[in-house]
A and B are shown apart, each in its own frame.
Chain A
C-alpha cells in the first residue's frame, strides 16, 4: 500500500470544511425549529430590483445537513478511493487527483447555495453551478469516451432544464412582483390565478424533472455513473438529484395544491417510481442498479410533493433523510467493491464470493441494505411507512398509486437483497466453487479496506439504525428536523410522530404486503432476470432513443443550416438582394414614380446635349455589360463615367464634374493595369464559363439583376420627380460660405469646411485603399512560396523599390514599360514634361480651389495621372527610381497628419477643432500672398488631400504596374 500517497491526507483535511459547516448547521436546529429564520441579503443587481441572498429555514436546514454531513464522509472516503488498493497496483502521483477534491468542494458550495437561496435568482445561479460541476465530475475520467458521452448527455438534459427553469422562475417573479421567496409566497393566490400559471409550472417542473431524473428525462442518470464513485454517491444519489425535489418542495406554497400540480407531479413521480424499481432489478452493473433504485426513490419523493398533504410533506422529509443515508452508504460500498475487485458486474462478482475476503465490508453493507429494503427497525422502514400513510390518506387514496407504491417497495426490497447477496455471496452453483489455490490468490487480492475507507458507509448505515429510534427521545433531533422541514414545505404546522410502531393500521398492512411480495421477488430474482432480462424495455439505457433522436435531428437541421453557406458569393448576393426585396415589400416602400412629371419633358437650355449625355451613359453602360472583351468593357465603363460627368457639368456643377472626369480617367487607367496582370487565357476561360451556364441559372441572374435595375430606375425617377427639394442646409451654405470660410465656391466650402470632417475620413479611406491594394498584391496574394520569413525586410524596402533587394521577390529590374513593351521616346519625353506641369496645375488648384472649380482631390488625381503616364512610359521600377520623393506610405501618413494638425491649429487661436481659420490674416502674412490666395485651414486641408491622394494613387499604380509573378495559365 502506498503509504506516501497524499490523497488520504487531502481527504481528511478537506473534509474538515464540510464537517465544520455541518456542526454549525446542526447548532442552528433548535432556533430554526423554534421558528427563527436566519437570513442574509445583499444587493447583487439592485438596478434590476434583484434582492439576492440566503436564508435558512427547516427545509433548507434538512438539505444543508445532508449536504455537509454526507459531504464530509465522501471526502474522507475519496482520499482512500484514489489510493491504489494494494502495492501491486501502480501508485498515483501525489495530489494528482486534487482536482476531484476541488470539484467536490465547489459542488458543495453550489449545492448549499441552492438550498439556502432566499430568492429565485440566487437559487438559479447555484443550480446551474451544480450542473456544470456535475458535468466536470461525470467527465472526470475524460479519456474514456463513455464518460464524455455521459457527461454531455447529463449536461444537455440538465442544461435544457435549466433554461426552462430560468424562464419559469422569471415568469413567476414577474407575476408575483418579486424574486424573493417570501414575497412570492405572499402572492400565491395571484400566482395561481394568473393565466400564465400552467406555463410557469410546466417550465419550473421541467427544470426540476430533468435535474431529479424524472421520467422521461431520467435516462441521463445511469450514464452519469461513469463519474468516480464518490461523486456518484454524493451528486447522483444523496444531493444533486435531490435539488429538483428541494425546488418543488420549496415552491409548493406558491405553486402547489392545484389540480395541475397534483396531476403533473404525481403522474411523473409515479411512472418514475415504477420504472426505476422494475428496471433496477434487471441491471448487471452494481452502480446501474443503484442508479435505477435512486430514480425510483426520486419518483417517490416527487409524487409526495405532488400529493401535497401535510403527511406527504412529513413523508418527504423522512424519505429524503432515509434515502440519502442508505443510498449514500450503498454507493460507497459499491466503490469499495469496485476498488478491490475491479469489477462492478454482478455476474462476475457472484463468482468471487467476496464475503469471505471482505467480511467487514459485507457487515457494513447489511444495515443500509436493510434500510433500503424498508425493513424495521430502520429509517427506510419509517420512510416507507410515512409514504404509505400519506398516500392512503388524502386524495381518496388513489388505488393505482397505492398498489404502485407497494409494488415499488417490493421491487426495492428485491434490489436490496440482490445488492447484498449477489455482490458478496458466492453463487450456489457447485461447479463454480473455487479451488483452494484460487482461494489463496483471492485472499491476497481481495481484502477489506482500511478503516477510513469503510468509515463513510459504516457510519451512514449505523445512522440509518440509530436515527430510527429518535422517537424514544423527547423532541429528538430527527423529529424536530422533519417537523420544521415539513412545516417549511407545507407552509403550515405539521404533526410529526416517528414511532416505529403506530399500531395495527393500514400502512402497516401495506408495508407487510410490500415486504412479502418483495421477498418473493428476491427469492426468484435470478429466474426473473433470465426470463425477462432480454426484454427491450428492461435493457440498460446507453443512448436513449429520445435523446438520440434529439441529437440526430440537431445534426440534421444543422447540416441543412450550414448548407446555405456554400461559399459562392453569387448565392450570397442573390439571397441578399432577395432579402432586400422582401424588406422593401414588407414595409411597403415601393413607390411608382409619376412618369409624366413636367420636369422630365420641360424644355431646358442645351436640351439636346442633356439627352445625348444621358444616352451616352446608358449606351456605354450597356456596352460594358455586353462587351465580349474585358478591355472593351472597361473602356465602355470609362465612357459611361464621362457621360455622367457631362450630365453633372450641365447641371451646372463644374466642380463635381471635374472630379468625376479625372476620377474616371484614373479608374480606367488602374483597371486596365489590373486587367493586364490577369493572363489572357484565364480571362477568356472566365468569360466562357459565364456563357456556358444553364439557361435557368442565367434566367435567375437576369431576374435578380433586372430587379435591381428596376429598383434603381424607380428610385432615380422618384428622385427626379421629387425635385425641386427644399434643402434646409443649402441656403445657409450659400449665405455663410464666403463670409466665414472665404470660399466663393459652395462645394469647396462644404468639402473642406462645413463637412470637412467627412472629407478627412474620406481621405483616410482613400489612403487605406492604397495601402490595402499594395499589401494585398505585394504580399498577400503571393505569400505561397515566397520568402515570408523576411516579410519585415520586404516591408522596409518597399518604399525604395530600386534597391537590389527586390531580387528576393524574383523580379528583374528593367526599364521597360507596362507589359514589357518599350514605349517610344516621344511618349517618355511627354511623360517627363507632363509631370512637372501637372504639379504646377495641381498647386494652382489647391491655392484657388476655394473659389474656383477644383480642389486638393482633383490636384492629387492630376498628379497621380501624370505619374501613371510615367509608369506607362518607364515601368514602375524606373519611375519610382527617378521620382525619389514619391514614397506612397510617407505621403499618405503625412497627408493624414497635415489635415489633423491643420484642423487642430485653430485651437491655438481660441477656435475649435475644424474651425475655418485664415492663418495668413492672423499672422499678417496675407500681404505677401498673391491675390485670392490665403494660407488657411482649407488650404492646409487641400494640401493634405492632395498628398494622400498622390500617395494612395501612386501606390496603386506602383502595385498594379509591377510585372506579375509568373502565373501559369
Chain B
C-alpha cells in the first residue's frame, strides 16, 4: 500500500465537502453524494486498518514529501486506525439517520457539507502526528459541530451552540497556548520528534524547559474539554438536549473520543516520562466523572440529557483505564471507546426517534412517557442498548466493563474500582427506569405517536453492531490489545515517523 493512502480518509471527505458545497442547489444529489463519500471514506479506513495490522508497522505519510519534523506527518498506527474506522462508521450512521430524519435542520443546504467537514476534523485529529495540525483539526471539529447545532429545530439550539462554541474556544486557546509553549521549549511540533526530545531531557534528569510543564497542563486541559471530563463537561448536557439528533449522536459518541485519544497519546507518546503524574490525575478525574455523571444522569428528566451525562460517566471509565495504564488498561480504554461510540450514538438516535414521534418534538420524559406503546420495535432496540450501556452480557458493553474491571484489579486500584462499580449500577438503574417510563408506563390520555418520524434504520444497525461485538468480542479485543501493545512501545511509532533518530 502506498504511504500516500494514509491521507485518503481525510482527503476524500474534504473533497467531498467541496463538491457538496457546489451541490447546494440540488439537495437530493447533495445528500446522496455525502452518503457515497462517507461510504468510500469508510472503506478506505477499513482498508488502512487491515493494512496496518497485516504489515504490523505504522503507515506514515509525510505531506509534501518533507521529512519529519519539517513538514506534517500523517501517522496511521494501530490506535489511529481503530479510531478512524470507529469515527467514520459512526459518522456514516449519523448521515444515514440524517437522511431519513424529519429535522428541518438537515434540509439546510450546508448541513451535509458541514457533516463532512466534521468527519474531516475528527479523522484528521486522530491521524495527525503534529501538534499544530491537531489544533487546526480541532478547530474544524468545533466550528462544524457548533454550526450544525445552531441550525437545530430546537428553540435553544442556538444557545446550545453558543455555549459549545464558547467552551470549545477555551479549549482552542489552551491548545494554541500549548503549541506555543511546546514550540518555545523544543522548537518543533512533530509529536515523534517532541517525544524523543522530552524523553532525552527527562532522562538527563536536569530541569525541564521553564514552560514545559505549563504546555503539558494546557494539552491536558484541552483534552479534558474535548472529552467533556468534569469540570470541563458543561457544554455537553445543554448541548445534547438541543442539537439535531444526528449531530448530538455524533458529538456524544465520537467527538468526545478525540479527547480520550489525546490522553492516550499524551501518556504513551508525548509526555511518556511524565505519565505517572498524568495518570494519577486521570484516575481522579475519571472517578469524579463516573460518580458525578452517574448521579446526574439519574437526576435528569430528559432522555438526551440523560445520555449526555451518561457519556460523562462512561468517559470516566476510559480515563480510568488510561490512568491505570499497562497493556490491559489502555486496551480496555480502546475497547470502551469503540463500544461506547456504537452504543451511545444508537441511544441518542433512539431518543431522537422518540422525540420525532411525539406530538411535541422533545425527548423530555414528560413528553415521551408511555409513547412506547405505539413503538414496540424501538423498545427492543432501546432495551438491548440499555443493557449494553450498563455493561450486561452478552453485549459489547460487558466486554468493555469486564476489561476495565480486570485492568483495575491488575493495577490493584480498589477505591477507584468501587467508584466504577457504583457507576455501573447507576447506569443500570437510570437506563431501565427510562425504559420503563417510555415502554411500560401506560400513555396518558391523548398521548399518541405521530405517523411520520425519523427512521430506525441507523440505530438498528448500530445495536446489531453492539450485539455482534458482544458475542464476537474477540475481533475488537484482539486488535485493541495489539494497539495497546503498540502504543506501549513508542519507539516503533517514533522510528516510523522519524527514521533518522
Contact between A561 and B295, CB atoms less than 8 A apart:
yes
Contact between B193 and A728, CB atoms less than 8 A apart:
yes
How many Å from the CB of B467 to the closest CB on chain A? 14
CB contact under 8 A between A569 and B71, given known A163-B425, A897-B19? no
CB contact under 8 A between A768 and B143, given known A139-B440, A580-B174, A780-B150? yes
CB of B29 within 8 Å of the partner chain? no
CB contact under 8 A between A753 and B217, given known A558-B296, A791-B108, A792-B27? no
CB of B7 within 8 Å of the partner chain? yes
Kindly list chain A residues whose C-beta atoms are within 8 Å of the C-beta of B61: 912-913
How many Å from the CB of A183 to the closest CB on chain B? 16
Residue of B nearest to A795 (CB): B109
Kindly list chain A residues whose C-beta atoms are within 8 Å of the C-beta of B398: 125, 128
Query: Dominant SS at the B interface?
Result: helix
Could you give, for residues 763-800 of chain A, a 1 whenever the CB lies within 8 Å of some chain B CB and a 0 otherwise? Answer: 01101110110111001110110001001100110110
Residue of B nearest to A578 (CB): B231
Contact between B120 and A783, CB atoms less than 8 A apart:
no
Contact between B117 and A128, CB atoms less than 8 A apart:
no
Kindly list chain B residues whose C-beta atoms are within 8 Å of the C-beta of A798: 24, 109
Stretch touching chain A among B40-48, B343-351, B353-361, B401-409: B401-409
Stretch touching chain A among B132-140, B248-256, B260-268: B132-140
Residue of A nearest to B197 (CB): A728
Contact between A780 and B151, CB atoms less than 8 A apart:
yes
CB of A572 within 8 Å of the partner chain? yes
CA distance A783 to B210 in the complex (A): 52
Contact between B110 and A167, CB atoms less than 8 A apart:
no
CB of A559 within 8 Å of the partner chain? yes
Kindly list chain A residues whose C-beta atoms are within 8 Å of the C-beta of B436: 139, 142, 148, 151-152
How many Å from the CB of A146 to the closest CB on chain B? 12
Stretch touching chain A among B62-70, B78-86, B87-95: B62-70
Kindly list chain B residues whose C-beta atoms are within 8 Å of the C-beta of A163: 421-422, 424-425
Our pick among A125, A148, A554, A776 for the contact of B147 (Cβ within 8 Å) is A776
Residue of A nearest to B293 (CB): A561
Contact between A896 and B14, CB atoms less than 8 A apart:
yes
CB of A16 within 8 Å of the partner chain? no
Our pick among A772, A780, A799 for the contact of B25 (Cβ within 8 Å) is A799
Could you give, for residues 414-442 of chain B, a 1 whenever the CB lies within 8 Å of some chain A CB and a 0 otherwise? Answer: 10010001101110110011001001111
Contact between A170 and B64, CB atoms less than 8 A apart:
no
CB of B235 within 8 Å of the partner chain? yes
Interface residues of B in 305-326 (CB under 8 A from A): 309
CB of B155 within 8 Å of the partner chain? yes
Contact between A589 and B217, CB atoms less than 8 A apart:
yes
Contact between B108 and A889, CB atoms less than 8 A apart:
no
Kindly list chain B residues whose C-beta atoms are within 8 Å of the C-beta of A694: none
Contact between B21 and A890, CB atoms less than 8 A apart:
yes
Kindly list chain B residues whose C-beta atoms are within 8 Å of the C-beta of A729: 69-70, 187-189
Kindly list chain A residues whose C-beta atoms are within 8 Å of the C-beta of B117: 764, 768
Kindly list chain A residues whose C-beta atoms are within 8 Å of the C-beta of B421: 163-164, 167
Contact between A897 and B405, CB atoms less than 8 A apart:
no
CB contact under 8 A between A764 and B14, given known A46-B474, A47-B478, A780-B157? yes
Contact between B167 and A572, CB atoms less than 8 A apart:
yes
Total count of chain A residues near the partner, CB < 8 A: 121
Residues of A within 8 A of B (CB): 43-48, 121, 124-126, 128-129, 132, 135, 139, 142-143, 148, 151-152, 155-156, 159-160, 163-164, 166-167, 170-171, 174, 199, 554-555, 557-562, 565, 567, 569, 571-573, 575-576, 578-580, 583-584, 586-591, 715, 718-719, 722-723, 725-730, 732-733, 736, 753-758, 760-762, 764-765, 767-769, 771-772, 774-776, 779-781, 783-784, 788, 791-792, 795-796, 798-799, 889-890, 892-897, 900, 904, 907, 911-916
Residues of B within 8 A of A (CB): 4, 7, 11, 14-15, 17-22, 24-25, 27, 61-66, 69-72, 104-105, 107-111, 113-114, 117, 120-121, 124, 132-133, 136-137, 139-140, 143-144, 146-147, 150-153, 155, 157-158, 161-163, 166-167, 170, 174, 177, 180-181, 183-189, 193, 209-211, 213-214, 216-217, 220-221, 224-225, 231-232, 234-235, 237-238, 277, 281, 292, 295-296, 298-300, 309, 387, 390, 392-394, 398-399, 401-403, 405-406, 409-410, 414, 417, 421-422, 424-426, 428-429, 432-433, 436, 439-442, 473-474, 477-478, 481
- Name 23 interchain pairs, CB-CB below 8 A, sorted by A: A43-B474, A132-B392, A142-B439, A143-B440, A148-B441, A554-B295, A565-B237, A579-B224, A579-B232, A583-B221, A587-B281, A753-B66, A758-B72, A761-B121, A761-B124, A780-B151, A783-B104, A791-B107, A798-B24, A889-B24, A890-B22, A914-B63, A914-B65
